[in-house]
Amino acid sequence: GAGVSQSPRYKVTKRGQDVALRCDPISGHVSLYWYRQALGQGPEFLTYFNYEAQQDKSGLPNDRFSAERPEGSISTLTIQRTEQRDSAMYRCASSRDHTDTQYFGPGTRLTVL
């Protein structure tokens, strides 16, 4: 079956612009996660959804970051007024439930100029 997909794969934007990153989880997976991975580092947790409910947003760095999953499937991570320090790989993962293995998408490489 299809894995987790993310779009766009690459995004270059100018400082101050808003960006929206999309994640399409594996069909039937109720749990969805966003992670951020800086160069040379492992992924770091941002937020977690169970169905459409955002259960944990403790990893979002500040209020410029938000995420939604309105119908319990596709999720969007939005970064407002981007800054250069937001440049990173943004990874989405999904799992059958919150206790199961997380499978990751290919990531979106965000570059803020």
Give the binding site for other proteins (CB under 8 A). Answer: 31, 33, 35, 40-45, 48, 56, 59, 89, 91, 95, 98-99, 101-107, 109
Nearer to other proteins, 19 or 92 (CB): 92
Map residue 86 onto helix, strand or coil: helix
Shortest distance in whole angstroms from residue 60 CB to other proteins: 13
Shortest distance in whole angstroms from residue 21 CB to other proteins: 15
CB 47 within 8 A of CB 98: no
Shortest distance in whole angstroms from residue 49 CB to other proteins: 10
Nearer to other proteins, 64 or 109 (CB): 109
Q: Which residues contact 86 (CB under 8 A, 6 or more apart)?
A: 64, 79, 110, 112
Map residue 85 onto helix, strand or coil: helix
Structure tokens at 33: 């996660």
